[in-house]
Structure 1
Amino acid sequence: MTVSTSARPRADVAAGHRLGLGQGTALLTGAVLGPGILALPHAAASAAGPAALAAWALLLALSVPVAFTFAALGARFPDGGGVAAFAARAFGPRTSAAVGWLFLAVVPVGTLAGAMIGGGYVANAAGWGRPGAAVMTAALLAAAFTANHGGLRMSGRVQLVLVAGLAVLLAVAVLASAPHADAAHFTPFAPYGIGGVVHAVGVLFFAFAGWEAASHLSADFADPRRLLPRATGLALALVGTLYLALAAAVTGVLGERAETSAVPLALLMETGLGDLARAATAVAAMVLSFVAMNTYIAGGSRLGAALGRDGALPAWFGRGGPVPHRGLLLLEALAVPLAVAVVATGFGLDPLLRATAACLASVTVVGMASATRLLTGRARAAARLTTALTAAAALSCGPYLVIPAAVAAVAALRGRLTSSKVEDLR
């Protein structure tokens, strides 16, 4: 296996669409502000009660150094391989292959989870039941893959419009429901103690993952060194404001209903928007699902091309033009049978969310550890602290960490077998 030591993907995208500040911010925002916000407020409230607000705030605070560390890496080493490319420079090809395979494997799982959340919300709002949810899940997957086959010019512009509309819709829902908030709903603040907050952190990690996905788009920015940090800052401000506002509104307005209802956002909109709630909830669900899926698929397809270029996948995947159609085909080949199996068996959503969170947490830890070797000065010191914090947060994923460990083991075994064949040929 060879490792790229230059930003060759920059040449690949030169003839294609290049991201400016607006579209870049929208794609980064979509990587983090996804469909998890539809289901996770309930899961976090069930784990920690009103103290779930502390878990939201803690993870948001952790997101700041994580996001800017990824921005610093992407600005300095713009590459479609994302964390895998950073790991190759910092730790060598085997670590790069392991983390690349890990992210590539989890993209179909995470995008399916997002499509299921959005499809479930739409079907619930329309009264379509389980068959309708399955149809909407398939439709969201098809839309996200189609947009990416059209390239970043199409998917980036669609993302910009959708994120702007989504921010307005969520802000209206929060403001309209605010008069119904009750201070009594915040007491007792921590009915399940510190353990409940720790559990909520593990549940909510899915909601704050995404910066590692956006790192695969660094080479697509027109000027990564200048635009990527700016887009990251704008995305952080937007995501942080919406997350904390929604979390506070769900607790203050719904009280104990936030712990018992699986659709707290729908209840919040019903309280604030009345008869418009069903339509608003369906729209929010579809947009939240699409924007996250769009970014993850874009990142995963570029990673597939980079892994083909660097030898961690067959070289066929590394060939092609500005749009990584072959990487997209690989993701589709993984996502379609997984979706069929999950929908047909009625497999629960929670395991998909937790498996995704564990894998993305592991990728984030490797990315932060890579920064401790690749960055200098204060950025390196911040990366060391962030590595320790993200590793501690990853432990909250518990037994689901077996999944990234298993994927890494398979990647390592493939690397050894490939090395052995090369030696035999010599």
Structure 2
Amino acid sequence: MGALQGAALTLGALIGTGIISLPALAAEAAGPASLVAWGAMLLVSVAFAAAFTALGSRFPDGGGVTTYVRRAFGDSASTAVGWAFYLTIPLGAPTAAGFAAHYVSDALGRGRGTALLVAALIIALVAAVNWFGIEASARSQLVIAAVLAALLVLVIVLALPHARSGNLTPFAPHGTGGVAEAAGILLWAFVGWEIMASLSGRYHSPGRDIARAAATALVVVSVLYVGIAFCTVAVLGPDPGPAPLSDLLVVALGESARPAMSVVAVLLTVATINTYFAGAAELGASLARDGSLPAWLAVRSGPGGVPRRALAVVPVLGLVTIAVMAVVGLDTDATLLVATATFGLTYLAATAAAVRLLEGWGRVAGVVSVLASAGLVAVTGWRVLVPMGIGLLGVLWTRSRSP
């Protein structure tokens, strides 16, 4: 794929479903000063982008994060991170799909059962697209990203005339502590670089295209996030409510516009899961190639060398997770904190590898990213023990197979 397709996939990973709720959560924590937290987190995202771009350009490989960790810290560390990351994506997929599924379910006047069914359909749809390879996935993502960006820009343009300067005072009602709390919340808005690392080997010219894709996606994400964040504070005031995008549309167009959020939610969800499934397929095949997973997962099919076996594991386990949720009465957000703990741990391992492998500005970006990643891990608490346990099982499995 080229830089444009890579930028679309990166945008899908970065923008995420958090844009629907995080601006409101940050505003509740810090008031208008949440805009300061947004600025700080954008700088952190620049550091993440710089570190992962440098690593991907230097070591383009489907293993992504696990390749960097293997080079920096050895096979056991790579296997542990790889197992945790690869096997947690199926746990996180129902949570991401469930976000849009609940919007659809609510719009239809249905309950949890309908939400679980819609989540399963989204996972199956994205898996079907990725079955035909990165080219099909990237082309579909380019269309989704363009439509999604246009819709979000439309929300910003329609809402801005309703901004009121009075909503920006007092600027920091909760002081610096509120800004720090908002920054911690917003860390979740800037994950996604880790899965793009597994697609670094699929670029036509990794040394050139990865940097272009990262820069393009970062600029677009910054404009969209800052625009929505400013409108949330300046238009909706100190109590924006849990769904600011819906409220902004209602302010601009009236109550009849609220159902349009279901379309935005579905597009956000499909874009995110599409990127993660594409990256997970490459990650699983690369781990199998390196002996960290069963060798049969490394088999590729078709002229494009699609890792269909490694891909199939992810949606199948995702659908099994949804089935278990249906049987035991859990909602789709039941696995949220376990998934985020895994992503935090993956970031910490990858950025630590950047500090060890890179030089100059790449290493500086790695240091900043390590500190931010440590914050991600810390806020997940005891749940980080789950991916650590999965990683330990991976190490024990590989050692049991050693001669």
TM-score of the two chains, using structure 2 as the length reference: 0.92
Cα 1:385/1:257, change in 2 over 3 Å: closer
**Which of the numbers 98, 108, 112 marks the counterpart of 1:130?**
112
Matched, 1:293 2:273: yes
Distance 1:171 1:25, change over 3 A: same
Distance (whole Å) between structure 1 residues aligned to residue 67 and residue 147 of structure 2: 34
Which residue of the partner structure matches residue 282 of structure 1? 262
1:235-274 aligned at under 5 Å gives the runs 235-258=217-240, 261-274=241-254
1:115 match: 97
Output the CA distance in 1 between the equivalents of 2:32 and 2:333: 21
Please state how far the C-alpha of 1:124 moved relative to its aligned partner: 2.6
**How far does residue 140 in structure 1 lie from its aligned partner after superposition?**
1.2
Aligned pair partner of 1:148 in 122, 130, 133: 130
Tell whether 2:345 aligns with 1:362: yes
Match of 2:156 in 1: 174
- 1:277 partner letter: A
Q: Tell me the distance in 1 between the aligned counterparts of 2:87 and 2:173.
A: 37
Residue in structure 1 matching 2:52, options 70, 74, 87: 70
Compute the displacement of 1:263 (Å).
Answer: 2.1
1:377 aligns with 2:360: yes
Instruction: For structure 1, list consecutive stretches of 5 or more residues without a partner in the other structure.
Output: 1-18
Distance in 1, Cα, partners of 2:94 & 2:11: 19
Matching residue's letter, 2:367? R
Structure 1 contact 301–327 (Cα < 8 Å) conserved: yes
Equivalence for 1:42: 24
Q: How many Å separate the matches in 2 of 1:324 and 1:267?
A: 42
CA–CA separation in structure 2 for the residues paired with 1:41 and 1:285: 15
1:232 to 180, 189, 214: 214
CA shift for structure 1 position 179: 1.8
1:330 aligned to 2:313?
Answer: yes
SS in 1 for 2:242: coil
Are the structure 2 counterparts of residues 177 and 23 from structure 1 closer, same or farther at C-alpha, using a change threshold of 3 Å?
same
Partners of 1:209 and 1:357 within 8 A in 2: no
- What is the Cα deviation at residue 283 of structure 1? 1.4
Show CA shifts across 1:97-141 (max 9, x none): 011112112212322211111111223334344343233212211
Give, in whole Å, the separation in 2 of the partners of 1:132 and 1:175: 34
The one-letter code matched in structure 1 to 2:362 is A
- Give unmatched runs, 5+ long, in structure 2: none
- For the residues of structure 2 that align with 1:243 and 1:298, how far apart are their CA atoms? 24
CA positional deviation for 1:38:
1.9
Secondary structure of 1:241's partner?
A: helix
Distance in 2 (CA, whole Å) between partners of 1:377 and 1:85 is 21
> Does structure 2 retain, via aligned residues, the 8 Å contact 1:202–1:397?
no
Partner of 1:31: 13
Counterpart code for 1:239:
V
Structure 1: distance between partners of 2:179 and 2:335: 21
Please give the per-residue CA displacement for 1:189-236, whole angstroms capped at 9, x wherever unaligned.
Answer: 444444444443343333211000001111110111111101100000
Name the SS for the 1:285 alignment partner.
helix
1:106 aligned to which of 88, 98, 102: 88
Partner of 1:411: 394
* Partner Cα separation in structure 2 for residue 72 and residue 303 of structure 1: 19
Aligned-pair CA distance for 1:371: 1.4
Which amino acid is the alignment partner of residue 169 of structure 1?
L
Aligned pairs for 1:162-241 within 5 A = 162-241=144-223
Provide the C-alpha distance between the structure 2 equivalents of 1:228 and 1:179, rounded to a whole number of angstroms: 37
For residues 198 and 314 of structure 1, the distance between their equivalents in structure 2, rounded to whole angstroms, comes to 44
CA 323–273 in structure 1, closer or farther in 2 if over 3 Å, else same:
farther
In the superposition, the TM-score normalised over structure 1's length comes to 0.87
> Which residue identity does 2:371 align to in structure 1?
A
- 2:377: which partner in 1? 394
Q: 1:75 & 1:136 partners in 2: Cα distance?
A: 38
Provide the aligned length of Structure 1 versus Structure 2: 400
Write out per-residue CA displacement over residues 356-385 of structure 1, whole angstroms, 9 at most, x where no aligned residue.
Answer: 222112111111111122222332233233
Alignment of 1:80-99 (within 5 A): 80-99=62-81
| Change in CA separation of 1:187 and 1:404 when aligned onto 2, cut-off 3 Å | farther
Code of the aligned partner of 2:159: S
In the other structure, the counterpart of 1:61 is: 43
Confirm or deny: 8 A CA contact 1:206 1:356 kept in the other structure.
Answer: no
Letter in 2 for 1:268: L
- Please say if residues 85 and 346 of structure 2, whose CA atoms lie closer than 8 Å, have aligned partners that are also in contact: yes
Contact 2:7–2:217 under 8 Å retained in 1: yes
8 A Cα contact 1:205 1:357, kept in partner? no
| Contact 2:23 2:229 (8 Å CA) reproduced | yes
- Give the CA RMSD over aligned residues: 2.2
Give me the whole-angstrom Cα distance separating, in 2, the residues matched to 1:339 and 1:202: 29
Contact 1:40–1:204 (Cα < 8 Å) also in 2: yes
